[in-house]
């Protein structure tokens, strides 16, 4: 499971990795009501991720690492979203990997400077038939694939937390 943190549009994507073969399972975007108080948006994000985990039962999760923004308030809110994206899988006993945006792009596109259009195009090559648009769900699938590649290179997936 890959998660692209946001309190506005949090992308999620699930892939199945069997050796080098990657297949699409599901993807989507969680959109908490931006008119709600911050605590309610965080709660919505947590509950929706927890529900996705219950439905799809991923073995592992991966979250994009935080990058610095110019607006400190935006960076703090992104930090809250990221914390939820780390907490929900951890609460379900699922290992969570963390990857920089640069590492994800390099893993799936071949260059760490790829833009969202290039990431989505590669997701459509790797996961045919999904017709993914540039944005949060395509990014989340890229995070999931990056994690699957790293786990495969390491020889095995991490196991659920004890």
Judged on CB neighbours under 10 Å (0-12, 13-18, 19+), 65 is: middle
Catalytic residue among 48, 60, 136, 139: 136
Tell me, yes or no, if 51 is annotated catalytic: no
CA–CA–CA angle 90, 110, 59 (5° rounding) = 20
| DSSP assigned state of 25 | E
- Rounded-to-integer distance, Cα 95 and Cα 114, Å: 27
Catalytic residue among 48, 60, 64, 139: 64
| DSSP assigned state of 109 | T
Buried b (16+ CB within 10 A) or exposed e, 14-48: bbebeeeebebeebebbbbeeeeeeeebbebbbeb
Tell me, yes or no, if 64 is annotated catalytic: yes
Tell me, yes or no, if 136 is annotated catalytic: yes
- Rounded-to-integer distance, Cα 80 and Cα 123, Å: 27
Catalytic residue among 4, 48, 60, 139: 4
- Rounded-to-integer distance, Cα 103 and Cα 77, Å: 23
Active site positions, annotated: 4, 64, 136
């Amino acid at each position: 499971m890959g998660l692209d943190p946001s309190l506005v549009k949090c992308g999620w994507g699930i892939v199945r990795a069997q050796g080098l073969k990657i297949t699409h399972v599901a993807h989507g975007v969680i959109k908490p009501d931006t008119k709600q108080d911050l605590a309610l948006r965080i709660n919505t994000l947590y509950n929706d991720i927890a529900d996705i985990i219950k439905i799809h039962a991923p073995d592992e999760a991966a979250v994009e690492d935080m990058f610095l923004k110019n607006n400190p308030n935006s960076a703090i809110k992104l930090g809250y979203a990221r914390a939820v994206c780390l907490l929900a899988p951890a609460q379900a006993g699922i290992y969570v990997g963390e990857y920089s945006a640069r590492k994800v792009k390099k893993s799936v596109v071949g260059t760490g400077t790829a833009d969202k259009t290039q990431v989505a195009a590669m997701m459509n090559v790797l996961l045919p038939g999904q017709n993914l648009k540039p944005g949060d769900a395509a990014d989340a699938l890229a995070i999931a694939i990056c994690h699957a590649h790293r786990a495969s290179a390491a020889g095995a997936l991490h196991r659920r937390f004890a």
